[in-house]
Amino acid sequence: MPFRLEIERSSKETGSNIVLALDPPLDKPNRMLSRSNEILKAVTPYICAVKINRQLVLPVGLFNGVQKIVGLIHDSGLSAIMDCKINDIGYTNRAIAEFYYRAGFDAVIANPFVGWEEGLQPVFEVAKKMSRGVILLVYMSHKGAEEGYGQKVRNSETGKPMSQYVVFARKALSWQADGAVVGATFPEKIREVHAILRDRVPIYSPGVGAQGGQIESALMAGVRYLIVGRTITLAEDPAETARLIRDSARHYLEA
């Protein structure tokens, strides 16, 4: 099943639009692996997918450790997203995507700054070949995002200035991406991107909780999936915290 349909299925089955950012604190690799497994098993009923970053892949290893976590994610009926922010030349980008897809990841996050030709085109090609997904990074959740994603660039067609993230949102449409990332800390940016994407490309939003993003404002602005990490992974009771976040998001969506 294509990635976008798969995550929609798991979201309906769990009644959740929460993507767990499984980013445990830096520790010995075996402890990071065991802690990740503990958190995952506890929160599985309350999430629809899991996002893993390089801070777990680097110490634990892709095929030695992380692949086992991906197996647990799939055994729970959830999707696995690799937040590698692919951002190199096409030859390297293709290899990066293939390695993560072979390890079992259902989708990768890529950075549109590198462009299409000899940039992200090979990633989309291998994703289509392997029936996987590509999510584009449109606007990040940290304060310094304005320096890059928020800068003004010249529209090549009209010659008028345009925000970089607007250009990226339009690329998400034209490249037929499976999702677009926009930080929950910037609901006004979410609203602007959603006006471009509508329901054709779902918005994934990190930054809820630890970075100050609010569930209600993000959802009301047009977010489809909330990416939540430290608020859950560092909680005294990750399962209960995940349940409360899921129920809160469900309440706003139903309202």
187-235: pLDDT as tens digits:
999 999 999 999 999 999 998 877 778 899 999 999 999 999 999 999 9
Cβ-based neighbour number of residue 232 at 10 Å: 28
Output phi, psi for 49, to 5 deg: -165, 170
Asked if 98 and 71 touch (Cβ cutoff 8 Å), the reply is no
- For a pLDDT cut of 70, what percent of the chain falls above it? 100
- What span, in angstroms and rounded, lies between the C-alpha atoms of 75 and 94? 27
The two tokens of residue 31 are 């402890």
Average pLDDT over residues 82-101: 97
| pTM metric for this prediction | 0.95
The pLDDT of residue 233 is 94
pLDDT of 52 > 80? The answer is yes
Residue among 136, 146, 147, 141 nearest 169 (CA): 136
Which distant-in-sequence residues (6+ apart) come within 8 Å of 33 by Cβ?
A: 60, 65, 68, 69
* Cα torsion through 33, 34, 36, 42, rounded to 10: 160
Mean pLDDT of 54-83: 95
Active-site annotation, residues? 85
In angstroms, rounded to a whole number, what is the distance separating the alpha carbons of residues 51 and 107? 9
52-55-59-60 Cα dihedral, nearest 10 degrees:
-10
| pLDDT computed for residue 157 by the predictor | 72
Please give the single-letter amino acid code of residue 150.
Answer: G
Cα–Cα distance between 221 and 228 in angstroms, integer?
A: 17
Q: How confident is the model at residue 143 (pLDDT cuts 50, 70, 90)?
A: confident
User: Which residues, in sequence order, are bridge partners of residue 179?
Assistant: 135
CATH of domain 3-254: 3.20.20.70
For residue range 144-161, list pLDDT tens digits in order.
Answer: 988 889 899 988 777 889
Specify the 3-state DSSP secondary structure of 119. Answer: helix
